[in-house]
Structure 1
Amino acid sequence: MARLGRLPEGTPVALELLTPGSCWRLTAPLNLYSHWRGPGLATQACAGRCLEVLALPQAPGDRLRARLLEDGYPGWLEPQDLLGHGRATVPPRPRLLDAASIAEAIPAVLAFGRQAQNQANHYLWGGTLGPDFDCSGFTQSAFASAGIWIPRDAYQQERFVQPVAVAPGCYGLLRPGDLIFFGTPRRCTHVGLHLGGGRYLHSSGKEHGRDGLGVDGLDAHLDHPVSAHYRAELRGAGRVVRCHDGTTLA
């Protein structure tokens, strides 16, 4: 059985090399799905990302199980999507950026957000590559554009950040680039990127009055239906002060 890094660096993907433990750097973007069959998109990976094969298909037509190495995110992918679109590699080394280095990169994170907002887009569950994003796919991609890896899903991002106190109309401790979290008392289900002054950029769906990226706010006097909906579900906020170390998150 092949193990991580056992293949010569740069070996192109071939069907017989897709063994558990083999590690590949993508040369083209691909989709990872939430199940071994069916249409449910889990996330997307851009060219240049690395993944590890975890398990092979159990039956013809099934997908293989894999894990993206920059954030530890698992999913299923079509073997043919990887064939010809990856090169053997070793796992990437974690980026040990400190809080000061991350703070210096926040303008680039915000610039990514402005550029994404200015493109035609729609909300896409699992969307990570753009121009169509889901909420946490957008925030992860914004930080990744500046070389900072954070976890994939909103609830994972909430656990990952350094907490910052926030309440509707009371956001004086927030800085641009902080993440604002929403959901139920039991679970975080949504995230936005703070722009300043309580305003945040996020990708939300049609059921709450928008379909894609838009700016909303935490001020109680804002009566826009999207702002009002998420303000009622505000859970907290946090600051990214470290890079993800590549370990798997539950």
Structure 2
Amino acid sequence: LVFVDKALIVLNKPAGIAVHGGSGLTFGVIEAFRQMRPDAKELELVHRLDRDTSGLLMIAKKRSMLRHLHAALRGDGVDKRYMALVRGNWAASIKQVRAPLMKSNLRSGERMVEVNEEGKESVTVFKVLRRFGDFATMIEAKPITGRTHQIRVHTLHAGHCIAGDTKYGDEGFSKEIRDLGGKRLFLHAYMLTVPLPEGGELKLQAPVDEMWAKTVERLLSAP
């Protein structure tokens, strides 16, 4: 847990754990919390993270907090930042991707999202954090809109897919990262700033997991 008070829980969700049951998974983070805290009747997810994404996840303990944060998310009161390891050398000139996104369901029942002129307006702001030669770049992504798979599809649209992304990624690149020990999707919600109902704001950061840190170490020492 990164933060707890009487109205809010914020945790650093591990990669590979669903935020809620369904889609063949009976158990997710929210169900686990409800079972651990049967007395807390109003526990609700404030927002979602993809199953394979790690990082900061908010759970409201009170309806009033849930309403407050939903209103903040609808406006531009919440600042969420992600870290991602992407293929290739991200051009410093790519500071923003504005590309409409549309959901489509494949015959297998799998949900895919694609850039489509008829889709919903979607904007992500990007910043380079660290380069690993021409091989890979660590970037910060700040989604201005909150569409499903937005960062994963916007990085792909910019020509730099995320390491370990089995849906939108590049298998060759992901395999090279796996060979360095990186067996996960390299997308992590690492920073969060939210306004509090009584004024002021809460600023939180969540560290990356050991696998992520070790992979970056190996990238840095790679010839």
Q: Give TM class, smaller chain.
A: under 0.3
The TM-score with structure 2 as length reference comes to 0.26
User: Between Structure 1 and Structure 2, which shows a larger proportion of strand residues?
Assistant: 2
The higher radius of gyration belongs to 1
Query: Normalising by structure 1, what TM-score?
Result: 0.24
